[in-house]
Structure 1
Amino acid sequence: MRKNLLKNEASTAIIARVKNLSASHTPLWGEMTATEMLLHCNSCNQQILQENENKNKTTTLQQFILRILALYIAPNFKKNIKGESRHDTKGKVDNADFEEQKTDFILLIALFSVTTRPLTLPHPAFGNISTNEWGIAAYKHMDHHLRQFGV
Protein backbone atom coordinates (compact mmCIF):
# COMPACT_ATOMS: atom_id res chain seq x y z
CA MET A 1 0.00 0.00 0.00
CA ARG A 2 1.37 3.40 -1.00
CA LYS A 3 1.80 6.04 1.69
CA ASN A 4 -0.85 8.68 1.18
CA LEU A 5 -1.33 12.03 2.94
CA LEU A 6 -5.08 11.49 2.81
CA LYS A 7 -4.54 8.77 5.43
CA ASN A 8 -4.12 9.91 9.02
CA GLU A 9 -1.12 7.65 9.74
CA ALA A 10 0.87 9.13 6.83
CA SER A 11 0.03 12.74 7.65
CA THR A 12 0.85 12.13 11.33
CA ALA A 13 4.23 10.65 10.35
CA ILE A 14 5.09 13.64 8.15
CA ILE A 15 4.10 16.04 10.94
CA ALA A 16 6.29 14.12 13.43
CA ARG A 17 9.24 14.37 11.04
CA VAL A 18 8.87 18.11 10.39
CA LYS A 19 8.82 18.74 14.14
CA ASN A 20 12.48 17.62 14.09
CA LEU A 21 13.37 20.28 11.50
CA SER A 22 15.05 23.50 12.59
CA ALA A 23 15.99 26.66 10.71
CA SER A 24 19.64 25.67 11.04
CA HIS A 25 19.26 22.43 9.07
CA THR A 26 21.21 22.53 5.82
CA PRO A 27 20.12 20.65 2.70
CA LEU A 28 21.79 17.42 1.64
CA TRP A 29 21.09 18.53 -1.95
CA GLY A 30 19.71 21.64 -3.60
CA GLU A 31 19.99 25.27 -2.57
CA MET A 32 16.87 26.05 -0.53
CA THR A 33 17.06 26.90 3.13
CA ALA A 34 14.76 25.02 5.51
CA THR A 35 12.46 28.05 5.61
CA GLU A 36 12.35 28.29 1.81
CA MET A 37 11.58 24.57 1.61
CA LEU A 38 8.66 24.93 4.03
CA LEU A 39 7.29 27.90 2.06
CA HIS A 40 7.63 25.86 -1.15
CA CYS A 41 5.75 22.91 0.36
CA ASN A 42 3.09 25.21 1.81
CA SER A 43 2.57 26.90 -1.54
CA CYS A 44 2.14 23.56 -3.30
CA ASN A 45 -0.14 22.10 -0.63
CA GLN A 46 -2.35 25.20 -0.53
CA GLN A 47 -2.81 24.94 -4.27
CA ILE A 48 -3.69 21.24 -4.10
CA LEU A 49 -6.17 21.71 -1.26
CA GLN A 50 -7.75 25.01 -2.30
CA GLU A 51 -7.95 24.97 -6.07
CA ASN A 52 -10.73 22.90 -7.52
CA GLU A 53 -9.73 23.52 -11.10
CA ASN A 54 -10.61 20.71 -13.45
CA LYS A 55 -10.11 22.14 -16.90
CA ASN A 56 -10.53 18.69 -18.44
CA LYS A 57 -7.04 18.92 -19.85
CA THR A 58 -5.97 15.94 -21.88
CA THR A 59 -3.35 13.82 -20.17
CA THR A 60 -0.65 12.89 -22.64
CA LEU A 61 0.82 9.40 -22.91
CA GLN A 62 4.10 10.80 -21.61
CA GLN A 63 2.35 12.24 -18.52
CA PHE A 64 0.54 8.95 -17.92
CA ILE A 65 3.79 6.95 -18.09
CA LEU A 66 5.59 9.47 -15.86
CA ARG A 67 2.74 9.25 -13.33
CA ILE A 68 2.96 5.45 -13.18
CA LEU A 69 6.75 5.54 -12.83
CA ALA A 70 6.84 8.36 -10.26
CA LEU A 71 3.90 7.34 -8.08
CA TYR A 72 3.93 3.55 -8.28
CA ILE A 73 7.39 2.31 -9.33
CA ALA A 74 10.14 4.74 -8.25
CA PRO A 75 10.68 4.63 -4.49
CA ASN A 76 11.39 8.38 -4.29
CA PHE A 77 11.25 11.51 -6.40
CA LYS A 78 14.53 12.38 -8.12
CA LYS A 79 16.77 15.00 -6.54
CA ASN A 80 17.15 18.48 -8.05
CA ILE A 81 14.09 18.39 -10.31
CA LYS A 82 12.82 21.86 -11.14
CA GLY A 83 9.21 22.53 -10.24
CA GLU A 84 6.78 25.16 -11.45
CA SER A 85 8.19 28.68 -11.22
CA ARG A 86 5.21 29.85 -9.13
CA HIS A 87 6.47 27.56 -6.34
CA ASP A 88 10.08 28.78 -6.54
CA THR A 89 10.79 30.26 -3.12
CA LYS A 90 14.53 30.98 -3.31
CA GLY A 91 15.07 34.35 -1.65
CA LYS A 92 11.35 34.91 -1.05
CA VAL A 93 11.21 34.29 2.70
CA ASP A 94 13.35 35.33 5.63
CA ASN A 95 14.73 32.70 8.00
CA ALA A 96 13.08 34.65 10.83
CA ASP A 97 9.77 33.29 9.45
CA PHE A 98 10.80 29.65 10.01
CA GLU A 99 8.44 28.91 12.92
CA GLU A 100 5.50 30.51 11.11
CA GLN A 101 6.20 28.43 7.99
CA LYS A 102 6.59 25.29 10.10
CA THR A 103 3.25 25.91 11.83
CA ASP A 104 1.56 26.50 8.46
CA PHE A 105 3.15 23.29 7.13
CA ILE A 106 1.74 21.26 10.03
CA LEU A 107 -1.74 22.76 9.64
CA LEU A 108 -1.81 22.09 5.88
CA ILE A 109 -0.59 18.50 6.26
CA ALA A 110 -3.29 17.88 8.87
CA LEU A 111 -5.93 19.13 6.41
CA PHE A 112 -5.14 16.36 3.93
CA SER A 113 -6.45 13.58 6.18
CA VAL A 114 -9.74 15.39 6.90
CA THR A 115 -10.50 16.73 3.43
CA THR A 116 -13.73 15.34 2.03
CA ARG A 117 -13.96 16.99 -1.36
CA PRO A 118 -12.27 15.63 -4.47
CA LEU A 119 -8.85 17.02 -5.37
CA THR A 120 -9.19 17.69 -9.08
CA LEU A 121 -6.38 20.08 -9.92
CA PRO A 122 -4.38 18.74 -12.89
CA HIS A 123 -0.80 17.91 -11.89
CA PRO A 124 1.76 19.86 -13.95
CA ALA A 125 3.83 16.75 -14.73
CA PHE A 126 1.31 13.90 -14.39
CA GLY A 127 -1.79 15.44 -15.95
CA ASN A 128 -5.22 14.60 -14.57
CA ILE A 129 -4.82 12.52 -11.43
CA SER A 130 -7.31 11.12 -8.95
CA THR A 131 -7.79 12.36 -5.40
CA ASN A 132 -6.03 9.22 -4.16
CA GLU A 133 -3.09 9.88 -6.49
CA TRP A 134 -2.89 13.45 -5.17
CA GLY A 135 -2.53 11.96 -1.68
CA ILE A 136 0.31 9.72 -2.88
CA ALA A 137 2.02 12.52 -4.83
CA ALA A 138 1.75 14.95 -1.91
CA TYR A 139 3.20 12.36 0.49
CA LYS A 140 6.12 11.64 -1.84
CA HIS A 141 6.73 15.37 -2.32
CA MET A 142 6.81 16.04 1.45
CA ASP A 143 8.97 12.97 2.05
CA HIS A 144 11.36 14.17 -0.68
CA HIS A 145 11.88 17.55 0.96
CA LEU A 146 12.13 16.20 4.50
CA ARG A 147 14.78 13.72 3.30
CA GLN A 148 16.48 16.68 1.61
CA PHE A 149 17.02 18.10 5.10
CA GLY A 150 17.77 14.79 6.79
CA VAL A 151 14.56 14.50 8.82
Structure 2
Amino acid sequence: MRKNLFDAPAVDEIIARAQRLQATAPARWGTMNATEMLYHCNLANRQILDGDMEHKPSTLKQELLRFLSFYIVPKFPKNRKGAARNDTKGRISPDQFDAQLRLFIRTVSSFAHHKKPFVLTHPAFGNLDTRQWGVAAWMHMDHHLRQFGV
Protein backbone atom coordinates (compact mmCIF):
# COMPACT_ATOMS: atom_id res chain seq x y z
CA MET A 1 0.00 0.00 0.00
CA ARG A 2 1.07 3.56 -0.58
CA LYS A 3 2.03 6.37 1.76
CA ASN A 4 -0.71 7.51 4.10
CA LEU A 5 -1.41 10.92 5.65
CA PHE A 6 -2.32 9.23 8.92
CA ASP A 7 1.37 8.32 9.29
CA ALA A 8 3.55 11.11 10.72
CA PRO A 9 6.52 10.54 8.33
CA ALA A 10 4.23 10.93 5.31
CA VAL A 11 2.80 14.13 6.79
CA ASP A 12 6.30 15.46 7.40
CA GLU A 13 7.28 14.72 3.80
CA ILE A 14 4.25 16.52 2.35
CA ILE A 15 4.80 19.54 4.60
CA ALA A 16 8.50 19.74 3.70
CA ARG A 17 7.59 19.69 0.02
CA ALA A 18 4.88 22.33 0.49
CA GLN A 19 7.35 24.60 2.27
CA ARG A 20 9.47 24.59 -0.90
CA LEU A 21 6.50 25.76 -2.99
CA GLN A 22 6.74 29.31 -4.34
CA ALA A 23 3.74 31.54 -5.01
CA THR A 24 5.04 32.23 -8.52
CA ALA A 25 5.83 28.61 -9.41
CA PRO A 26 4.37 27.75 -12.80
CA ALA A 27 2.09 24.76 -13.07
CA ARG A 28 3.47 21.85 -15.07
CA TRP A 29 -0.10 20.98 -16.04
CA GLY A 30 -3.58 22.29 -15.39
CA THR A 31 -4.82 25.85 -15.03
CA MET A 32 -4.59 26.56 -11.29
CA ASN A 33 -1.92 28.82 -9.88
CA ALA A 34 -0.10 27.83 -6.67
CA THR A 35 -2.52 29.72 -4.40
CA GLU A 36 -5.57 28.16 -6.07
CA MET A 37 -3.96 24.72 -5.73
CA LEU A 38 -3.37 25.19 -1.99
CA TYR A 39 -6.93 26.46 -1.57
CA HIS A 40 -8.21 23.42 -3.51
CA CYS A 41 -6.22 21.02 -1.30
CA ASN A 42 -7.38 22.80 1.84
CA LEU A 43 -11.03 22.48 0.80
CA ALA A 44 -10.64 18.78 -0.01
CA ASN A 45 -8.75 17.99 3.20
CA ARG A 46 -11.28 19.84 5.37
CA GLN A 47 -14.09 17.85 3.74
CA ILE A 48 -12.32 14.62 4.68
CA LEU A 49 -11.43 15.64 8.21
CA ASP A 50 -14.84 17.21 8.90
CA GLY A 51 -16.74 14.27 7.40
CA ASP A 52 -18.38 16.62 4.90
CA MET A 53 -19.09 13.99 2.26
CA GLU A 54 -22.16 11.96 1.57
CA HIS A 55 -22.12 8.27 2.50
CA LYS A 56 -23.69 5.99 -0.09
CA PRO A 57 -23.00 2.53 -1.51
CA SER A 58 -19.99 2.14 -3.81
CA THR A 59 -20.57 1.22 -7.42
CA LEU A 60 -18.61 -1.49 -9.22
CA LYS A 61 -16.99 1.22 -11.35
CA GLN A 62 -15.79 3.01 -8.19
CA GLU A 63 -14.41 -0.22 -6.72
CA LEU A 64 -12.49 -0.95 -9.93
CA LEU A 65 -11.15 2.60 -10.11
CA ARG A 66 -10.09 2.39 -6.43
CA PHE A 67 -8.22 -0.87 -7.04
CA LEU A 68 -6.47 0.51 -10.13
CA SER A 69 -5.57 3.79 -8.41
CA PHE A 70 -4.36 2.27 -5.15
CA TYR A 71 -2.54 -0.81 -6.46
CA ILE A 72 -1.78 -0.50 -10.19
CA VAL A 73 -1.45 3.09 -11.43
CA PRO A 74 1.38 4.93 -9.67
CA LYS A 75 -0.06 8.46 -9.88
CA PHE A 76 -3.31 10.34 -10.41
CA PRO A 77 -3.87 11.31 -14.05
CA LYS A 78 -3.09 14.90 -15.02
CA ASN A 79 -5.79 17.39 -16.06
CA ARG A 80 -8.67 15.36 -14.62
CA LYS A 81 -11.64 17.46 -13.54
CA GLY A 82 -12.59 17.13 -9.88
CA ALA A 83 -15.76 17.87 -7.95
CA ALA A 84 -17.28 21.27 -8.80
CA ARG A 85 -17.34 22.34 -5.16
CA ASN A 86 -13.54 22.05 -5.09
CA ASP A 87 -12.96 24.07 -8.27
CA THR A 88 -10.95 27.05 -7.06
CA LYS A 89 -9.95 28.63 -10.38
CA GLY A 90 -10.44 32.38 -10.00
CA ARG A 91 -11.92 32.07 -6.50
CA ILE A 92 -8.92 33.33 -4.51
CA SER A 93 -6.39 36.09 -4.95
CA PRO A 94 -2.75 35.07 -5.49
CA ASP A 95 -1.80 37.37 -2.59
CA GLN A 96 -3.42 34.81 -0.26
CA PHE A 97 -0.60 32.33 -0.90
CA ASP A 98 1.04 32.63 2.54
CA ALA A 99 -2.26 32.26 4.39
CA GLN A 100 -3.23 29.24 2.29
CA LEU A 101 0.19 27.64 2.82
CA ARG A 102 -0.11 28.07 6.60
CA LEU A 103 -3.60 26.55 6.48
CA PHE A 104 -2.34 23.71 4.28
CA ILE A 105 0.41 22.87 6.78
CA ARG A 106 -1.99 23.04 9.74
CA THR A 107 -4.63 20.92 7.99
CA VAL A 108 -2.22 18.27 6.70
CA SER A 109 -0.63 18.10 10.17
CA SER A 110 -3.99 17.32 11.72
CA PHE A 111 -4.28 14.06 9.74
CA ALA A 112 -1.58 12.41 11.87
CA HIS A 113 -3.53 13.24 15.04
CA HIS A 114 -6.98 12.28 13.78
CA LYS A 115 -8.28 9.23 15.65
CA LYS A 116 -11.94 9.03 14.63
CA PRO A 117 -12.76 6.43 11.92
CA PHE A 118 -14.18 7.69 8.65
CA VAL A 119 -17.45 6.63 7.07
CA LEU A 120 -17.34 8.68 3.88
CA THR A 121 -17.82 8.03 0.18
CA HIS A 122 -15.13 9.38 -2.12
CA PRO A 123 -16.67 10.76 -5.35
CA ALA A 124 -14.41 8.63 -7.57
CA PHE A 125 -13.39 5.69 -5.34
CA GLY A 126 -16.60 5.00 -3.40
CA ASN A 127 -16.52 3.96 0.24
CA LEU A 128 -13.07 4.04 1.77
CA ASP A 129 -11.93 2.93 5.18
CA THR A 130 -9.84 5.28 7.31
CA ARG A 131 -6.51 3.92 6.05
CA GLN A 132 -7.67 4.24 2.43
CA TRP A 133 -8.71 7.85 3.07
CA GLY A 134 -5.18 8.54 4.31
CA VAL A 135 -3.74 6.99 1.14
CA ALA A 136 -6.15 8.92 -1.12
CA ALA A 137 -5.33 12.18 0.67
CA TRP A 138 -1.59 11.54 0.35
CA MET A 139 -1.95 10.74 -3.36
CA HIS A 140 -3.97 13.93 -3.87
CA MET A 141 -1.40 16.11 -2.08
CA ASP A 142 1.47 14.40 -3.93
CA HIS A 143 -0.32 14.96 -7.25
CA HIS A 144 -0.71 18.69 -6.70
CA LEU A 145 2.74 19.26 -5.26
CA ARG A 146 4.24 17.49 -8.30
CA GLN A 147 2.02 19.76 -10.41
CA PHE A 148 4.18 22.65 -9.15
CA GLY A 149 7.51 20.84 -9.20
CA VAL A 150 7.88 20.10 -5.49
Q: Same fold (TM over 0.5)?
A: yes
CA distance in 1, matches of 2:104, 2:52: 20
Deviations 1:15-39 (A, max 9, x none): 0000000111010000100000000
Task: Letter of the 1:30 partner, please give it.
Answer: G
CA distance in 2, matches of 1:8, 1:97: 27
Which runs of 5 or more structure 1 residues have no equivalent in the other structure? none
Deviation at 1:52, TM superposition (A): 6.0
Superposed counterparts of 1:12-27, under 5 Å: 12-27=12-27
CA distance in 1, matches of 2:22, 2:109: 20
Q: What residue number does 2:48 align with?
A: 48
Check the 8 A contact 2:62/2:126 in 1, yes or no: yes
Deviation at 1:121, TM superposition (A): 1.6
Task: Letter of the 1:75 partner, please give it.
Answer: P
> TM (normalized to structure 1)?
0.96
CA distance in 2, matches of 1:150, 1:144: 10
Check the 8 A contact 1:52/1:120 in 2, yes or no: no
CA distance in 2, matches of 1:43, 1:78: 20
Task: Letter of the 1:36 partner, please give it.
Answer: E
Deviations 1:14-68 (A, max 9, x none): 000000001110100001000000000000000000026563x111111000000
Q: What residue number does 2:124 align with?
A: 125
How many aligned positions are there?
A: 150
SS of 1:122's partner is strand
Which runs of 5 or more structure 2 residues have no equivalent in the other structure? none
CA distance in 1, matches of 2:119, 2:45: 13
CA distance in 2, matches of 1:83, 1:71: 18
Deviations 1:47-92 (A, max 9, x none): 000026563x111111000000011211100000100000000000
